[in-house]
Structure 1
Amino acid sequence: MICNIFVFRALELHPFSMKPLLRRAMAYETLEQYGKAYVDYKTVLQIDCGIQLANDSINRITRILMELDGPNWREKLSPIPAVPTSEPLRAWHPATPMTPDQGGDPSGHHSPSITEAIEEKMFEVLKEEGNEYVKDKNYKDALSKYSECLKINNKECAIYTNRALCYLKLCQFEEAKQDCDQALQIDGDNVKAYYRRAQAHKGLKNYQKSLSDLNQVLLLDPNIVEAKMELEEVTRLLNIKDNTASFNKGKERRKIEIQEVNEGNEEPERTSGDISTECLAPEKGGGSSFGTLEHSERLEISMPTNAYEFGQVINAINTRKDEEACAHLLAITAPKDLPVLLSNKLEGDTFLLLVQSLKNHLIDKDPSLVYQHLLYLSKAERFKMMLTLISKSQKEQIQQLFDDLSATPNHHFTLEDVQALKSQYEL
């Protein structure tokens, strides 16, 4: 949005014309010239104090100016012009001549059209800003932008599903569910709304409701791979929850806390990986050799015998981000068993934790074991998918691990072996 010469020309002819003032104020705000925008919005409110767009903008810009200029921010503003008493009446009087771009009609009822046109433009600007914040993983500011959008237009489904994504990332599951409910009232077949509500139910540990929403997603679009994977995960969590209830009634059984893990793209229009892994609470179980994660000082690791037990152990470790415990787990796990133990549950957080544990705790002690684990990790299901999801900095950590491996003399593998394995990691 550009404040062009026509707006200035219009204000030269009519200094207190509502539409040009609003346009210029919006342009100034977009250009981050907040002081000038504030003055124009204040002038608009002298003409008509009921313009909601101007009121909301004043509140928003006031906060920004206070952050930028401190408590004396008003002293840095240009003087706010006093609107003549007759101006408000003249600006909106039905007899005022209409110009073609005002889109009015001969009856003179043009003010709603002007306001709607301006608010529609502001809606698009706010929506785009929200989307950019999501791309930058700035979910709090994105949420604020989407909320401002809904003040202008609360009937667009995409804004609710985008804001639900932000709530999921911020672990506000109830709010995410409510936004999805609103979206489904507008569009009863919205796939994103069902998927993100399933994620919200999962975060709230309402696994049965999550399953129901995921089944609805696949009913609407059977080709969504993420929904299929999520369905498997939620089914597993539901089974664990049911089994835990049964075990607590009978014989006490060793149990490990479960950490739900998700990883994916943060684009507002994507469905994969909507929940942040940092905020998903572990399942509460009975007695455990690991103890309660929040209170135990050290995890006790024993060798898992199957993929289910391995998944419980690695999730418990991942909850604590305990590289030392992960290194111990890898030290007692045969590398050739790693693909089977990981099954189809390899996630981004787990992948990175394995690499960091090998790099920071095992490379100096047993480089041969590190090489073998890297070799068999590359054979795990979803390995190639993980390579597409990791960030540049994470890839640099893997590169450093291979550099350390290349610099460590060992008769169990050659430099050619390391170079060949690096190609599997797309380095």
Structure 2
Amino acid sequence: MKYFILACVFLCAVQTVWAQEDEYFVQLLKKGNGRVNAIDVNEANTMLLLGAENKSASVYDLNSKKVVFEVEAHYQPVIDVKFSKEEDVFYTIGDRSVKVWKIGDEKPDKIYTGTLINMTSWSITPDENYFVASSYNKKYCYWEASQLKAVKEVETGHKKNMIAVAISNDHKWVVTGALDTSIEVWNLQADKRKHLLLAHSRPVSCVEFVNNNKHIISASHDGNARLWDMESGQAIKMYLGHSLPISSIAVNPNGKFLLMASYDHTIGLFNIATGERIHVYEAHEAPVLDVVWNRQGNGFYSCDKDGNVMEWTVPDKVFVDFYFGKKIASELEESKLLLPRKKGEAKDVYKDRQTNAEKLKNKLQDKYYLEYLELERTFIIGDLIEN
């Protein structure tokens, strides 16, 4: 038993080295100089877009590690930002408007308006033809990209202000979250509410459609997130682990894993289908306000209340160690390569054993990575429903 514990310690020690120096490497891209509220990455993974409390939007070049463009975008803090699919074009959201900019231009190319109250959240379809915004007046506004004025403003049933909104990829549905802890799902064309969802104990800070609009993920100031069935309105999964409010969520490109950024200074990585928390990323020393995956889905970027911007990687071994770490430790124990140095054993022989243990560990990682790929195929959202 003690050798199994030793194997686990060895495995954890190796993982710690990876976390700090290699596979879970954390890089400080931009040191804090005022609160950064929002972050996005462009299609080429070469630039970051940052929205700040000081009303500015800035473009950060990942190659030169420098801000290459900055503009005062709104007369109040920028609450969200997004790169367009069109090269060198981006959106900013703040005060009562959505603005479209070209990198290098000091004035916006377009300004979308329609709400009389400051916006609190924003969401756009992948084709960038339709978008919605929530505001402090319990209404959401809907735009078609071809028109600068909002097409309509819809009164929801929330009893308190909305702070989260999302539009489905097919622009047929809108989901909203509010300070009153409720979630509402609306038929965008008919302006009719389909569901009133109640489960969170504190304000709902994030909502997002997933799995081809078959499910919704919500996150809350209660530190938890939930997965909802779009058709029935049933809550089918919970994501637990954060101790303070969730500020941002992001689903990776393959749709199977979820990042949750929190005021507890951490970012959690979750399996959407099973609800398992796979890893906790810890490096921020302030509330994490936003998080975004890179386009490959093997890493992400985050920003915090102090203005720090960080880059993280999500290697395959994060998943291998989570699902097969105990088996790897057991096989290391059986190899007896981790036995304490024997009396009379030459120092170089003992050192060779340690080297062979490292080689075996890497071999086992490769072996169980193949098993993980088979396991990943079973991660189907909605298949594992909570009772």
TM-score normalised per structure 1: 0.27
Normalized per residue, the structure richer in strand is: 2
Q: 1 or 2, which has the higher helix percentage?
A: 1
Higher relative contact order (CA 8 A, sep 6+): 2
Q: Give the structure with higher Rg (CA).
A: 1
